[in-house]
Amino acid sequence: MKKILVPTDFSDQAENALKVAAQLAKKFKSEIYLLHMLELPLQLIDPIQGSGSHNLPESIFFMKLAHQRFAKLLKRPYLKDIQVHETVLFHQAFEGIREVSEEKNCDLIVMGSHGASGFKEMFIGSNTEKVVRTSNIPVLVIKNEQPGDFIIENFVFATDANHSNKHTLKKAADFAKKISAKLHLLYINTPNNFMTSQDAYERLESFSNESGIENSGTHVYNDVSVEKGVLNFAKKMNAGLIGISTHGRKGLAHFFNGSISEDLVNHAKRPVVTFRI
């Protein structure tokens, strides 16, 4: 984990994400790419397409303002001794985040979330949702300020144990190993997609063994829905992190011939990390 991308709009939620990224950067001796996207109307960016040359000074003003905010942010004590690259781009936020993550060959994206206002109202609009859906690298979503050090003891990874998705389990296991967390594979049994506990445990064990994963716990939890099951089990375990898989443009992880609603991320007070299938 050598390069961590942190998009920011300079909000408190974005800074919560930056604080976590800083702790990871110190642990892994990583560089942080701090990115701010200026989503300005085209006429403020391109004076040729705009109505006059007066537009260019306006875009320069917003650029200077962003760099002033960067200068203030970079003085934070928690960023001491960390190599931070600041970048301000005139771009659509979603496209810019994806392009920068690929251009810089980043290993992880850490993003903030606004909490109760809904997953689609995460900072920089719906762009967090789009990044989560399509990112080829893990995306760590931080909702609240993390008290103390970002130390994860229990990492719950919700799965349908579909063997065609075993590569995502390897990604989750690798992430758990990096952060020194205990990995817990979780299968949620619901009334609409019920199987006996024995069959569910056998399915999890087979999935884990075929994926070559060792030293992971397997759990079957019954609830009225997958979303509630994941949240309730994570609370019961006092899990520090929830992991799910994403299906690209199809949205968040599809389990049990259905889908985990975006409410999972919206309602989870705990950090959530996603892995692309």
Q: Tokens for 267?
A: 């309602």
CATH number of 154-276: 3.40.50.620
| Axis crossing angle, helix 93-103 with helix 127-134, rounded to the nearest 10 | 40
Segments of the chain with pLDDT less than 70 = 39-59, 91-94, 114-129, 247-266
Q: Which amino acid is at 102?
A: E
**Cα gap 142→18, rounded to integer Å:** 9
Q: Is 127 helix (H, G, I), strand (E, B) or coil?
A: helix
Q: Tokens for 51?
A: 């109505």
Q: Which amino acid is at 237?
A: M
**Cα gap 256→159, rounded to integer Å:** 9
Asked if the domains 3-142 and 154-276 are classified in one and the same CATH topology, the answer is yes
Cα–Cα nearest to 268, from 173, 175, 83, 142: 142
* Residue 262 burial (CB count, 10 A): 17
pLDDT at residue 36, as a whole number: 87
| Axis crossing angle, helix 197-210 with helix 166-178, rounded to the nearest 10 | 80
Q: Are strands 84-90 and 108-112 parallel, antiparallel or unpaired?
A: unpaired
pLDDT digits (tens, 9 = 90+) for 98-137: 889 999 999 999 998 765 444 444 333 356 667 777 788 9
pLDDT at residue 77, as a whole number: 95
User: 32 near 85, Cβ under 8 Å?
Assistant: yes
| Domain 3-142: CATH architecture, name and number where available | 3-Layer(aba) Sandwich (3.40)
The sign of the CA dihedral 186, 111, 18, 10 is negative
pLDDT at residue 261, as a whole number: 40
**Cα gap 241→176, rounded to integer Å:** 10
**Cα gap 86→42, rounded to integer Å:** 23
Delimit the domains of the chain by residue range.
Answer: 3-142, 154-276
> Residue 9 to residues 14, 34, 44, 112: CA-CA distances in angstroms?
6, 10, 19, 9
pLDDT at residue 183, as a whole number: 95
pLDDT at residue 66, as a whole number: 82
